[in-house]
Structure 1
């Protein structure tokens, strides 16, 4: 069995002056590109890049005569989690650009009767409009800077997934910047109540138009019931745990989950979103068992399932509070990954976990 090697990815820290400017300019391009092709398509490419990087890491690709583990310093770190497709850069930039474009005439298709607010359409490619791409680029830079600052904090305090937090926090920032309500107005009996959606209740869309929209807009209409969410969390968490135990890769499960969203983007019905289950599953399996071989494999696998369920349920709670009643995309998986890794980090400080936890700096 391969003992998991938990790697830190540092694509910005430790650089100053011209090098730092170099990375920020690249982050601008990454955020703008995420806006151009759409936030969700950009994240699908995150998944493909991570799979490629982890595969390269497992076979120890030889570059210029030296064995280079690209999983930490090459494809995964520089492409999947770096300026090209880093979720805090490309996805967050694309989501911010969609929020901006929804308020600009001609930048996005008008809201359809019975449809969600256009600011939530992260699957829509925003094309080449300069102001929209500039917004994506600006939030790409913001994501890069935020992640660097958080990485420095995490290095001396409680560890958590700084990229996931940045994706979540960036969405709250773009709501404030572009004049959206931070939490929205809950329908029914509160933020956690999804019955208005189930009953088909609608409200008038913004701007006094006659267009109607759902009173509550769940992030995934096929994935919001607690029991269903917990079950897919168990399944994905177990697989994430299995992958980290057998390959040593913390990110392979995450990459597979992210890449699977290509089918969701193409309109295949009921594709589940699971990267906030596989990554916590991998993290839980590795953090709580120092040497997941022999009989301890079973313990590690069970912990993967436990944290897969935790990531799923926390993500669902996040969607009910931050997404379902608002007008733009605040990412539930990012919230789920942030909170679950923070829990593991706190347990690490308390001495409960058996080994250091990876956090993608």
Structure 2
């Protein structure tokens, strides 16, 4: 179905699971489906990203950065197999990070980045930071964009932090943000915000302070744009800026907060 549709489904199923838990149910849709082997971003989304890169290398998909197009469009068995192999690789890498090495970060996000980098070196030609010869290339937000991201990061971080502290559910804002990307899938300019939601929630839950959560929402918004411009611009495969942001700042929060 493609990487982005799979991630949207993870958000929708996660919201359903949160609702079941809030209603007193015992079925863990969040852990078993939304973040498990079926729809977990480190498996379904990461497999879709790698399949898109492979499809572009084989002159099917116009851009390896296109994570919205369902790759069933091409009816290519090897694209399906590559996606499945990278999904399996994501499962193994996340198990290594979380259960063997016990890394103090969001290992799902770290796995998404690991498999994306592997896919870029296997199927892409643009290198880890894309084409650096592009004239006037930006690496950080500035001007109106900087102000917009700052306001959005603080505001979303504050709202998510409030509900995280009130409910103790760290994935609520993340799942809403993930589900909101259905509008991006429809072709509308809806931004990705799940890195802001999750980083702010982690910080708020760790400290019990919604203003610290809002601060980390601001940091996540600006850092995510830096990652986008540095690793996911002028390139031919997708390295996910939100996942990059989540694993870096989760590591900092888990260690220091």
TM category, shorter: over 0.9
Offset, 1:182: 2.4
Per-residue CA deviations over 1:287-319 (Å, capped at 9, x if unaligned) read 012xxxxxxxxxx21112111111111111111
Offset, 1:226: 2.2
Q: Are positions 1:230 and 2:184 aligned together? A: no
Q: Are positions 1:123 and 2:51 aligned together? A: no
> Which of 147, 172, 182 is the equivalent residue of 2:128?
182
Offset, 1:154: 5.3
Per-residue CA deviations over 1:251-297 (Å, capped at 9, x if unaligned) read 011000000000111012x31211000111111111012xxxxxxxx
SS of the counterpart of 1:120? coil
TM-score norm. by structure 2 comes to: 0.92
Q: Are positions 1:57 and 2:46 aligned together? A: no
* In structure 1, C-alpha distance between the alignment counterparts of 2:226 and 2:41, rounded to whole Å: 21
Label 1:304 to 1:191 Cα distance change in 2 as closer, same or farther (>3 A).
same
Find the counterpart in structure 1 of residue 200 from structure 2.
Answer: 281
> Which of 26, 39, 49 is the equivalent residue of 1:85?
39
RMSD between aligned residues: 1.8
Find the counterpart in structure 2 of residue 203 from structure 1.
Answer: none
Q: Which 5+ residue runs of structure 1 have no aligned equivalent? A: 1-36, 62-67, 112-117, 196-223, 290-299, 348-352, 354-361
Q: Are positions 1:43 and 2:17 aligned together? A: no
* In structure 2, C-alpha distance between the alignment counterparts of 1:56 and 1:191, rounded to whole Å: 44
Q: How many residues get paired?
A: 252
Q: Counting helix residues as a fraction of each chain, which structure ranks higher? A: 2
Per-residue CA deviations over 1:111-167 (Å, capped at 9, x if unaligned) read 4xxxxxx11110000004210010100100111111011003553x5x110001111
Q: Are positions 1:257 and 2:177 aligned together? A: yes
* In structure 2, C-alpha distance between the alignment counterparts of 1:44 and 1:193, rounded to whole Å: 27
> Which of 246, 249, 253 is the equivalent residue of 2:166?
246
Larger Rg: 1
Q: Are positions 1:324 and 2:233 aligned together? A: yes
Q: Are positions 1:134 and 2:53 aligned together? A: no
Find the counterpart in structure 2 of residue 313 from structure 1.
Answer: 222
Q: Are positions 1:341 and 2:250 aligned together? A: yes
Label 1:276 to 1:194 Cα distance change in 2 as closer, same or farther (>3 A).
closer
Structure 1 segments of 4 or more deviating over 3 A?
A: none
Per-residue CA deviations over 1:28-81 (Å, capped at 9, x if unaligned) read xxxxxxxxx1111111001001101111111221xxxxxx2x3xxx20011100
Offset, 1:341: 0.4
* In structure 1, C-alpha distance between the alignment counterparts of 2:76 and 2:230, rounded to whole Å: 32
Per-residue CA deviations over 1:165-218 (Å, capped at 9, x if unaligned) read 1111111100111242222222235661789xxxxxxxxxxxxxxxxxxxxxxx
